[in-house]
């Protein structure tokens, strides 16, 4: 292929402009593409903050593709959300492939998304229906068998619906239950076909969770992703949280219960239904009883009010569950000695390994075997499963060793990476352990001075008080009944959302305004689709609506931020990280809490202006952006735009 620069593709007279007459070249996009190209050439890392409207997907895709085709090496793009992943696969990459037809790109999914033909055939033909408690589940297995003969991908998404979990568990591809090249269905195996496509592809698209799951498996030589020297993390502002989850240990009551029920349920169904498995079934019953006692003790740690409890010392809970799970593993090993069928042997071996894995994870947390980890229990106050977790105090050292030192070029990009108005990215670097490399903050292509107005509340009402909720509700009634176009009202807690929603809803109903409330049981994407179609709705939302939501045009003209989005201060991981900063002589509020909230606020603000034709208003009702000493850092991080003062105390009655 000819030696092209990013500008040859993305510039005013570039290949994309020739392909799409309406295409508008953006200097910020070309600047970002040049930075990515330089990082690839210099084999170094890069941090790039690219505000909404820059077109960052093409800005990294074009230099990545040029590099991959020229050098014959693989490149990986990891996204933070399914929405961005789908945009890349369905829209952006196909356009790039029109310019470079030789480009091979694949969407990489976890192994559990693929059906195992051998396991499915064994389940359907060897009496495994004894696993099922209902006729519907047996029917679902037959439907799965029919589908497996028709599908070309074997991907669960291709099925079009979710089969019962206990049915899919018997049929999914499983690392612990794989015969590899010895498998009689290896030639037709959907998972290995997907791996072959990965090996042949230039560009692999994954999500952050899969990438870090894969990273944690590399030392066990069980990674899914092939070797690569380049990875771009889009929506990189979420990396610390994702890495914390995947580089730690967590085990839930539901996982253990689900595992034991799959072996032998209280309805006398399961893998151990054969007559000669009596001893193993007895071991499962003992483990189930031990599990119930164990998780009751975990729940007692919480008392009546807490749902997350720091485990301040090892052995706060008597670990009666690990020994009983190890006894299950031993019983399964005994069963293996009496089985001649290789499929049955594989199933028993896989379950034996899972029992030992669960037992080991529980010991690791309860005995606090890991250095520099935070140990805690979670006991949901409503529906949900109790859990035990160990999270690394910091992921910086782990990422420096396992990611940045191993992959020559790691590019971090997002609309919100800087916690101030500089391009040093010190907050991000400290959190992730990234030193050196390139750094770039791009200007916004939008004219916020004419496109947006910022409303700031100057009334010093405590944002955690009932008076604030009443004042906010009064102001919202007045404002929303006059406002044209759709509105997001963003909260930091479900409790405050519900309280304010219940106060405002009657007035909105009388005015025939369409209202959606996060937490009413409707899925996030369904809520967004409805909101867009209505065009002038009001959506009361919490955390997941602060980011990753794209509603251009008049369907979203108003974004109302009720409180500054400070992280929950009493979570054990947050507490431990704050304590570590204090131990080093620092100020955790200014070094971590404020920068974290600034990035979150920038995400919320960014919901409003999505295109050059969008206009609207962002209101911040938390007076601390004006009255607190740290408030200026929040305002300085937002785009400069016309500002107007409002006073909530006019609406505070009582």
Neighbour-count burial of 559, counting CB atoms closer than 10 A to its CB (0-12 exposed, 13-18 middle, 19+ buried): buried
Report the pLDDT value the prediction gives residue 599, as an integer from 0 to 100: 94
What's the N-to-C CA distance of the chain in angstroms? Answer: 73
**What are the Cα distances from residue 549, in Å, to 454, 519, 543, 556, 604?**
20, 17, 11, 11, 9
pLDDT at 128: 54
Assign 3-class secondary structure to 415-428.
CCCCCCCCCCCHHH
Beta bridge partners of 391: 374
Instruction: Tell which residue, 270, 320, 323, has the closest CA to residue 294.
Output: 320
CA distance 69 to 448: 39
HSE-up of 310 (CA within 13 Å, CB side)?
14
- Closest listed residue to residue 36, CA positions, set 298, 411, 353: 411
* pLDDT, position 382: 67
The pLDDT assigned to 305 comes to 64
The 3-class SS string of 135-183 reads HHHHHHHHHHHHHHCCCCCCEHHHHCCCCCHHHHHHHECCHHHCCHHHC
What is the per-residue pLDDT for 338? 82
The token pair that represents 524 in the structure block: 């996030």
User: How many CB atoms neighbour CB 84 within 10 A?
Assistant: 19
Measure the CA–CA gap between 191 and 520, rounded to whole angstroms: 38
Q: What is the pLDDT of residue 524?
A: 82
User: For residue 28, what are its two tokens?
Assistant: 């910020």
Query: What is the block-wise mean pLDDT of the chain (654 residues), using blocks of 10 residues?
Result: 87 91 89 97 97 93 96 94 86 95 94 92 72 80 91 90 88 88 91 93 95 85 87 95 93 94 86 86 96 93 79 94 97 88 88 96 96 92 85 94 96 92 87 95 94 96 93 95 94 94 95 91 86 93 88 94 90 92 93 94 94 94 96 94 93 69
pLDDT of residue 621: 97
Please name the residues in contact with 431: beta carbons below 8 A apart, sequence gap of 6 or more: 240, 394, 395, 396
- pLDDT score for 1: 62
Domains along the chain with CATH numbers: 6-104+201-242+395-441 (3.40.50.300), 111-195 (no CATH), 248-392 (1.10.275), 448-651 (3.40.50.300)
Contacts of 187 (CB under 8 A, 6+ apart): none
d(CA 565, CA 574): 14
């Amino acid at each position: 292929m000819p030696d092209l620069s990013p500008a040859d593709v993305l510039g005013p007279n570039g290949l994309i402009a020739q392909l799409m007459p309406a295409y508008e070249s953006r200097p910020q996009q070309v600047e970002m593409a040049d930075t990515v190209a330089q990082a690839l050439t210099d084999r170094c890392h890069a941090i790039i903050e690219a505000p909404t409207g820059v077109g960052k997907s093409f800005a990294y895709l074009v230099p990545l593709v040029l590099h991959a085709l020229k050098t014959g090496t693989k490149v990986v793009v990891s996204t933070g959300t399914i929405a961005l992943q789908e945009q890349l696969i369905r829209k952006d990459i196909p356009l790039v492939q029109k310019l470079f037809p030789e480009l091979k790109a694949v969407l990489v999914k976890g192994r559990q998304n693929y059906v195992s033909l051998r396991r499915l055939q064994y389940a359907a033909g060897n009496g495994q229906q004894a696993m099922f408690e209902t006729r519907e589940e047996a029917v679902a297995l037959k439907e799965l068998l029919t589908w497996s003969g028709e599908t070309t991908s074997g991907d669960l998404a291709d099925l079009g619906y979710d089969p019962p979990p206990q049915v899919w568990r018997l049929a999914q591809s499983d690392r612990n239950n794989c015969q590899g090249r010895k498998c009689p269905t290896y030639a037709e195996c959907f998972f290995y076909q997907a791996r072959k496509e990965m090996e042949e592809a230039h560009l692999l698209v994954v999500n952050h969770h899969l990438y870090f799951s894969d990273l944690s498996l590399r030392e066990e030589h069980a990674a899914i992703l092939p070797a690569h020297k380049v990875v771009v993390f889009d929506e990189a502002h979420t990396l610390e949280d994702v890495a914390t989850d995947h580089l730690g240990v967590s085990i839930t009551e539901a996982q253990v219960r689900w595992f034991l029920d799959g072996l032998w349920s209280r309805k006398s169904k399961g893998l151990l239904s054969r007559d000669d498995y009596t001893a193993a079934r007895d071991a499962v019953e003992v483990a189930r009883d031990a599990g119930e006692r164990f998780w009751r003790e975990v729940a007692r740690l919480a008392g009546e009010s807490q749902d997350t409890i720091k485990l301040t010392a090892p052995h706060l809970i008597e670990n009666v569950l690990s020994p009983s799970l190890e006894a299950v593993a031993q019983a399964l090993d005994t069963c293996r000695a009496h089985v001649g069928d290789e499929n049955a042997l594989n199933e028993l071996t896989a379950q034996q390994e899972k029992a030992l894995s669960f037992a080991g994870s529980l010991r690791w947390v309860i005995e606090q075997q890991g250095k520099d980890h935070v140990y805690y229990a979670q006991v949901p106050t409503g529906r949900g499963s109790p859990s035990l977790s160990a999270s690394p105090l910091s992921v910086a050292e782990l990422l420096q060793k396992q990611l940045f030192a191993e992959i020559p070029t790691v590019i971090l990009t997002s609309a919100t990476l800087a916690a101030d108005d500089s391009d040093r990215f010190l907050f991000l670097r400290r959190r992730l352990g990234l030193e050196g490399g390139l750094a770039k903050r791009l200007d916004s292509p939008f004219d916020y001075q004419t496109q947006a107005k910022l409303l700031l509340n100057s009334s010093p009402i405590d944002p955690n008080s009932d008076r604030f909720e009443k004042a906010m509700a009064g102001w919202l009634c007045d404002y929303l009944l006059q406002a044209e176009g759709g509105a997001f009202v963003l909260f930091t807690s479900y409790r405050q959302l519900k309280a304010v929603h219940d106060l405002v809803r009657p007035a909105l109903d009388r005015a025939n305004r369409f209202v959606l409330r996060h937490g009413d049981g409707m899925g996030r994407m369904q809520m967004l689709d409805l909101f867009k179609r209505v065009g002038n709705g009001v959506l009361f939302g919490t955390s997941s609506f602060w980011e990753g939501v794209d509603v251009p045009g008049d369907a979203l003209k108003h974004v109302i931020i009720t409180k500054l989005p400070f992280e929950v201060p009493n979570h054990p991981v947050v507490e431990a990280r704050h304590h570590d900063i204090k131990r080093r002589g620092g100020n955790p509020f200014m070094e971590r809490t404020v920068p974290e909230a600034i990035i979150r606020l920038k995400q919320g603000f960014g919901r409003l202006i999505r295109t050059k034709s969008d206009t609207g208003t962002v209101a911040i009702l938390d007076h601390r952006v004006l009255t607190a000493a740290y408030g200026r850092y929040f305002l300085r991080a937002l785009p400069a735009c016309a500002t107007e003062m409002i006073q909530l105390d006019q609406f505070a009655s009582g």
